Amino acid sequence: MILFKNATLFDGKTFYEGTLDLLVREGIIETFGQNVSAPGAEILDLGGKVLSPGFVDLHCHMRDPGFEWREDIESAAAAAAAGGFSTAVAMPNTDPAVDNDALVRYVIEKGIRAGYSRILPAGAVTKRREGKELAEMGKMASAGCVLFTDDGAPVGSSRLFRTALQYSQSLKVRIMEHPEDTSLSRGGQVNEGRCSSLAGLKGIPASAEEIGVFRAISLSRETGVPVHLTHLSTRESVSLVREAKKEGLAVTCDVTPHHLRFSEESVIESGFDSRFKVNPPLRSSDDIESLWEALADGTVDAIATDHAPWHLDEKDLPFPEAPFGIASIECAFPGVFTCWLNRGKPFGLDRLLALFTSGPASLLPGEWPSHGRLTRLGKADLVVLDMDLERKVAVEEWKSKARLSPWEGLSLFGWPVLTMVEGRVVFDRSRE
């Protein structure tokens, strides 16, 4: 039994006035309000700190099974907890790919055994992620898979994508598409634009992503099946989603912390540091502006980390030889929050927090959307945030196995200080 006193309560969409108390008993939010008392409860006086539903990450590479030297479910779950995420969705681009119900159960069970944040599996759309035949989506959905995606790559062909949308409709599990026309992006290293021109590195044009976005929207329109687009990075991409939403289509999207913070200039200024190598590539500063506009006007539904850890030896290479991917789950919220501060708070904090809580949770099936809200008798998935705490990102202290990140050394505000999953404290900064 834990009683939070003097919390600034965020319910997943809005803040309550003043400070309130909240009581957690047996994994459930028993009550909240003024002057809650509970004899025998452990009391945590938050002194006005924010108490929010725990964050939900729709897009996290846990590299397990198959690449455990880069990350495994245990290290990823601990890292997620430290980042304030009480739930994280594991991507299926593993070895073997998560393309059947046995592997879906493996991810869930290994997540439970780890005992940190809740790990939910995403299943592959196609067998072995080869983009040829549909995976057993029905069995995976029954086993608890919460998204379908061939992430790391788009769904192989438009025909197959269309079929997958139709087939998955009754399963109520969304397809999350990584939009990319690989014939345009193949061999690319950086944004096609200033960076490719100055660096002499092969560019990945914005059109490679935008054609993928257009394809997904078009198929969603035709089939009437929802589709989720992940890690959008260009002005035109979010503009396409904005128009689709206006049209009333069930098209949703997320953006990553790094695309909100870093531009292609970082690649050049860092002297081609592979920490800045990611797909989709870091784009222009105008693209960053467009993403912030899309956060403000509700075009973007969630901020997802696309946490992509690599072993130091694999990532610490000359830029063109290094793999794509940025690790960030332990500093994702502070990273975005600090940008939001530096931009002069372009919209309400409630909107920003919703992008980490109710926004992503609402895209998951079954009971999971409720985990993004804070309700009486709801599951106690919570995070306490210290908006005034300033810390430098220190990657060597991470619970994640990643040891390179472009966030390293940046001074950020808004750190999670306590993360709770169904009443269990899975991260407590005061005990670190």
Partner 1 sequence: MEWKHRHVLDLKDWKREDILFLLDQAKNMDNLIDRPIKKVPALRGKLVVNLFFEASTRTRVSFELAEKLLSADVVNWSASGSSVSKGETLRDTAWTLEAMGADAVVVRHGASGSAHYLARKLKRAVVFNGGDGAYSHPTQALLDAYTAWKSFPNLEGRKMAILGDVLHSRVARSDIQVFRTLGCEIVLSGPETLMPFDVKSLGVTYEPDPWKAVKNADIVYLLRIQRERQEEGLFPSLDEYHLRFGADEKLVSKAKEGALVMHPGPINRRVEIDSSIADGTQSRILQQVRSGVAVRMALLYLCLGGVMA
Q: Which residues are catalytic, by number? A: 306
Dig out the tokens for 286 from the structure: 């105008």
Contact residues for 392 (Cβ-Cβ < 8 A; gap 6+): 409, 410, 411, 412
Angle formed by the axes of helices 206-223 and 235-246, to 10°? 20
Least gap, CB of 200 to partner 1 (angstroms): 3
Least gap, CB of 275 to partner 1 (angstroms): 11
Q: Which is nearer to partner 1, 52 or 196 (CB)?
A: 196
- C-beta of residue 252 within 8 angstroms of C-beta of residue 242: no
Least gap, CB of 274 to partner 1 (angstroms): 8
Q: Which is nearer to partner 1, 139 or 194 (CB)?
A: 194
Dig out the tokens for 413 from the structure: 């505000």
Q: How far apart are CA 327 and CA 269, in angstroms?
A: 20
Q: Which is nearer to partner 1, 281 or 414 (CB)?
A: 281
Dig out the tokens for 259 from the structure: 């695309």
Q: Which is nearer to partner 1, 273 or 422 (CB)?
A: 273
Least gap, CB of 102 to partner 1 (angstroms): 35
Of 4, 8, 13, 5, which is closest to residue 50 (Cα–Cα)? Answer: 8
Least gap, CB of 270 to partner 1 (angstroms): 8
Q: How far apart are CA 15 and CA 51, in angstroms?
A: 10
Other Cβ atoms less than 10 A from the Cβ of 1: the count is 14
Report DSSP letters for 202-239, one per residue.
Answer: PEE-HHHHHHHHHHHHHHHHHH---EEE-S--SHHHHH
Q: How far apart are CA 94 and CA 65, in angstroms?
A: 6
Q: How far apart are CA 361 and CA 401, in angstroms?
A: 26
Least gap, CB of 132 to partner 1 (angstroms): 28
CA atoms within a 13 Å half-sphere pointing along the CA-CB vector of 165: 25
Q: Which is nearer to partner 1, 177 or 192 (CB)?
A: 192
Q: Which is nearer to partner 1, 201 or 278 (CB)?
A: 201
> How far is residue 81 from each of residues 76, 102, 181, 336, measured CA to CA in Å?
9, 25, 34, 17
Of 59, 78, 70, 67, which is closest to residue 121 (Cα–Cα)? Answer: 59
* Interacting residues toward partner 1 by CB under 8 A: 189, 192-194, 196-201, 203, 205, 271-274, 313, 316-321
- Parallel, antiparallel or unpaired: strands 190-191 and 28-33: unpaired
Least gap, CB of 79 to partner 1 (angstroms): 25
Q: Which is nearer to partner 1, 40 or 271 (CB)?
A: 271
- Based on its alpha-carbon atoms, the radius of gyration of the chain, rounded to whole angstroms, reads 20
> How far is residue 114 from each of residues 46, 108, 428, 431, measured CA to CA in Å?
28, 10, 16, 18
H/E stretch holding 286 reads helix 285-296
Least gap, CB of 256 to partner 1 (angstroms): 23
- C-beta of residue 329 within 8 angstroms of C-beta of residue 400: yes
CA angle 119, 150, 419 (to 5 degrees): 20
Q: Which is nearer to partner 1, 200 or 344 (CB)?
A: 200
Per DSSP, what are the bridge partners of residue 307? 60, 326
